[in-house]
Amino acid sequence: MVGRKDVLDLNDFTAAEIEQVLRTADAMREILTRPIKRVPALRGKTVVNLFFEPSTRTRVSFELAAKALSADVVNISASGSSVEKGESLVDTVRTLQALGADVVVMRHSQSGAPYLVAQQVQASVINAGDGWHAHPTQALLDLYTIRDKLGRLEGLRAAIVGDVLHSRVARSLTFGLVKMGAEVTLVGPPTLIPPEAPQWGAQVSYDLDAVLPKLDVCYLLRVQRERQRQRFFPSVREYARRYGLTRERVAALPEGCLIMHPGPMNRGVEIDSDVADLPRSVIEEQVTNGIAVRMALLYLMLGGAGEGGGA
């Protein structure tokens, strides 16, 4: 992990690297409980949050993480694709680099966009979500939260429920969980589960009720209503009926099973409102842990080696 220039996908992390990030996040979380939540580890470094897609939690989380390490933070919200904007994506990032960016945290609506940037600039690139492809920091904070709550990852049984086809969260979390020795079942309507998913090391089920009784983690994906134009399922109503986590379905879950969601939630669709607020739902902890995990990543990439590490 130390010395990695970019974090683009969890798929190319080793289990040991993931372990290192999670351990480092433990130390970072301790910093966040102090009265003064700030250490000087990244003083003089500049982190640019470059978001081509609206995001509140991920952007704020990266901003707080960088500030807790005393880095300078610049937030840029760019709307639309580079083509619509006139300036190309690569030129935009080269400009940021010329302005002194050490790390570019990038969110983009198109899969692979951070790869294009990472090849063209010396600055480190952290993928904060690209299209349907990957969201490695979300997966890391999810792994951290699960391990924190259940004490381990290996041997756990997790279901990821919903629109896997269009979900970067589902891809990254599947790779992360499988790498750490957990069993993953992807659940949803067949139109939203890629038939190749078993090649990721996951199992596939179209029947949520059959899966629930064995779970340690029930992870719900956001139903992306904008996809409904393509009618991958007949209606939101029918989706909620077949794949929503209702009160009744919660009763089928084992005692200690965690309920997770990457946010933002559609209450009443993939998760019933009062289910989201149950004690076993750790959705808010996910958000809080996100800061510590992102601090850990920034620290390991930029400061961890003591000598700037980032090259």
Is residue 228 close enough to count as binding other proteins by CB under 8 A? no
What mask of x and - would describe binding to other proteins in positions 10 to 29, judged by CB under 8 A? -x------------------
Q: What is the C-alpha R_g of the chain?
A: 19
Q: Could you say whether residue 121 binds other proteins (CB under 8 A)?
A: no
Using CB under 8 A, which of 107, 147, 168, 261 touches other proteins?
168
Which letter, b or e, does each residue of 272-290 get, where b requires 16 or more Cβ atoms within 10 Å of its Cβ? beebbeeeebbbebbbebb
Q: Give me 243's structure tokens.
A: 């794949």
Taking CA atoms, 140 is separated from 20, 73, 89, 216, in Å, by 11, 22, 26, 18
Stretch of residues binding other proteins (CB under 8 A), selected from 153-161, 194-202, 212-220, 272-280 = 194-202
Does the protein bind other proteins through residue 200 (CB under 8 A)? yes
Decide if residue 192 touches other proteins (CB under 8 A).
no
Question: With respect to other proteins, which residue has the nearer C-beta, 170 or 292?
Answer: 170
Q: Does 204 bind other proteins (CB under 8 A)?
A: no
Residues 262 and 290 sit within 8 Å (Cβ to Cβ): no
Please report whether residue 130 would count as binding other proteins according to CB under 8 A.
yes
Residues 6+ apart with CB under 8 A from 305: 2, 3
What are the beta bridge partners of residue 159?
185, 218
Per CB under 8 A, which region of 196-204, 205-213, 221-229, 276-284 contacts other proteins? 196-204
- Provide the strand spans (E) within the chain: 46-51, 72-77, 103-108, 124-130, 157-161, 183-187, 203-205, 217-220, 258-260
Angle between helices 283-298 and 136-150 (to 10 degrees): 120
Complex with other proteins: residue 116 or 236, whichever CB lies closer: 116
Which range binds other proteins by CB under 8 A, 153-161, 195-203, 217-225, 295-303? 195-203
Residue 199 in contact with other proteins, rule: CB under 8 A: yes
| Buried/exposed 78-88: b ≥16 CB within 10 Å, e otherwise | beeebeeeeee
**Should residue 110 be labelled a site residue for other proteins when binding is judged by CB under 8 A?**
yes
**Binding of residue 51 to other proteins (CB under 8 A):** no
Residue with tokens 């683009």: 8
Q: Which residues contact 254 (CB under 8 A, 6 or more apart)?
A: 213, 214, 215, 216
| Residue 258 interacting with other proteins (CB under 8 A) | no
Give the count of beta carbons closer than 10 Å to the beta carbon of residue 20.
17
Of 29-37, 40-48, 61-69, 77-85, the window that binds other proteins (rule: CB under 8 A) is 77-85
Q: Is position 33 an interface residue for other proteins (rule: CB under 8 A)?
A: no
Tell me if 88 contacts other proteins by CB under 8 A.
yes
Interface ranges with other proteins (CB under 8 A): 11, 81-83, 88-90, 108, 110-113, 115-116, 120, 130-134, 165, 168, 171, 194-197, 199-200
